[in-house]
Every structure is written in C-alpha cells, then in structure tokens.
Amino acid sequence: MIRRAPVVLILAALLSASGARAENFGRNPAELKPVLQRLVDAYPGTIAGFDAGALILKNGERLPLSDGDEGKSFEQMLDRPDIGDMFAFAYPAGAEAAPPPENFDPGRIRVEALFRALYGDCQKGEVAGKLRRIAWVPGHGGGKVSVTTAQGADKALEAVSRDLDKLPASFRKYLVPSAGTYNCRAIAKTSRMSMHAYGAAIDLNTKYTAYWQWQKPDAAGHIKWSNRIPKEIVDIFERHGFIWGGRWYHYDTMHFEYRPEMLAR
Ligand SMILES: [Zn+2]
C-alpha cells in the first residue's frame, strides 16, 4: 500500500493552496532524509546509502544532495538538478486528478547520472539488452510491450497489467493500443533523456491523451490542463510504483513512469 509521509502531505497541501513554485523541500537535510531512504529502498542493487553530502552508489559514485545553487529557476532545476531538486515537489499519490499549480511537476526533475546508473545509457547500447517482452493487459487484448528488467520495473508493470485486467471492458480504449514503452530518445524539444530511454515508462492510447505541448498558452502564459484518463487507472499505476504525467503542470496524461522513490510506502 502507498502511504504518504506527513511532511509530503503538508507540502502538497501548501503547494496546492498557494500555487507556489518550487519549495526548497530538498534543501532541508532533515526533510530530505526520508526521501533519500526511499531511494535506497527502491533501488537497493544500485544505491548503497547516503551521508550528509551525497547519495552514494554501489559503484562508489557520489551524487551531491546539493550543488550549492539555491536560486535556480524552474528551467535550471530541470536542466541541471541536484538530488535535492528531484524532490522539490511532493508527488500527490492517490489525489483526485486536478489542474496542478504553475510549474508543479513532481518527478519531472531527474538527475540523469542517477538514472543512467539505475538503467544504463541507451545511446551506448546499455538498455536494449535488459528489455523483456511482457504481456500488456492480456485480458483486454493488449499484445506485448518491452520493459526493462533493471530495478524490477518489468515485474512492477506486470503487476499493473494484472490489476488493469480486472477493470471492466469499458476501460480497454484507454489502455489498448499502448503508444509505446522503450524509445532511445530525448524528451521532445529538450536534450534531457525521457524515461522511455531507460525502458521504464509506458504511454497509453494516444487517442485519449492530453499533452501540454499541444496547448497554446493563454494571454498570461498559462497552460490549460485537461485529462480524460480515469482515476481507477492512475490508482493502479501508483500502487505499483509508477507516477503519472497527468499530475504535472507540464502534463502528459498518457504517460506513466516507474519512480517508486516518489511514492511513500
Ligand atoms: Zn511517455
């Protein structure tokens, strides 16, 4: 079961109420400790632990908790985050789907060195060999998808698939055909790698998606949020360690990625 830590709940509430930009959640070592422990718990084969200054990988690499730059803009956090920045927004697991505050993108800030360590670098051919073809919602006739065996992401997606199979036939249209899993590419219009490049993300049926890049911002520069993905589907993914792109201000509602560290257990 997914259970949110009190600090995460409080921050999520503050952000929802104020529409605030990034809180310095990751800057307070006391607040960061539980999320660092979640990283260790989620990826025990790769992450050895943490100390006051860094996340420590089993290969000896140290990823700094803070790079000392406390004044980063949202774009700078996306482009050159430290480990603390990854947790700038608390992921609101289990919440009703709703328009997020401006720039509220929990899980969209990723330290690429960490994800390369977890899954490999697809541009060096390190990901393709770890992929496994699994049945995707076989009860709904979903065919097969390829997902990485690294970090147990394949097992997690199989658990999602089993639960989605229990949903009524009326849910099939959202799930089938899947718009894809592994794809060695950067996120559209950026140089940042997508979670699809690690084989740890899945897109549902494009026909029912909403994507912020397809929206023209209003006169004030705000992006209007919309969504057609039912909460039943989101709940199942979140229960098994996946976060949903529909919870982002820069939303992508067909997108789910394996990010158990964003979900308190
Ligand atoms: Zn996607």
Token pair of 185 as six digits: 């590419």
Question: 8 or 188: which carries more pLDDT confidence?
Answer: 188
> What is the Å distance from ligand 1's center to 81 Cα?
21
> What is the Å distance from ligand 1's center to 105 Cα?
14
Token pair of 223 as six digits: 């992006």
Task: Give per-residue pLDDT as tens, 146-169.
Answer: 999 999 999 999 999 999 999 999
Pairing of strands 62-64, 54-57: antiparallel
Task: Give per-residue pLDDT as tens, 103-130.
Answer: 999 999 999 999 999 999 999 999 999 9
Query: Would you call 174 helix, strand, or coil by DSSP?
Result: helix
Strand partners, 64: 54
Rounded to whole angstroms, the Cα distance separating 109 from 192 reads 10
Residues with CB under 5 A from ligand 1 (ion): 203, 255
Given a contact cutoff of 8 angstroms between Cβ atoms, the answer to whether 82 and 67 are in contact is yes
- Other C-beta atoms closer than 10 Å to the C-beta of 218 total 9
Rounded to whole angstroms, the Cα distance separating 109 from 241 reads 17
Given a contact cutoff of 8 angstroms between Cβ atoms, the answer to whether 35 and 261 are in contact is yes
> What is the Å distance from ligand 1's center to 60 Cα?
31
Mean pLDDT (whole number) for 80-106? 94
> What is the Å distance from ligand 1's center to 196 Cα?
6
Given a contact cutoff of 8 angstroms between Cβ atoms, the answer to whether 84 and 26 are in contact is yes
> What is the Å distance from ligand 1's center to 51 Cα?
33
- Other C-beta atoms closer than 10 Å to the C-beta of 257 total 24
Task: Give per-residue pLDDT as tens, 164-223.
Answer: 999 999 999 999 999 999 999 887 788 899 999 999 999 999 999 999 988 888 888 888
| pLDDT for position 237 | 98
Task: Give per-residue pLDDT as tens, 214-230.
Answer: 888 888 888 899 999 99
Please state the domain extents for the chain: 6-96+105-262
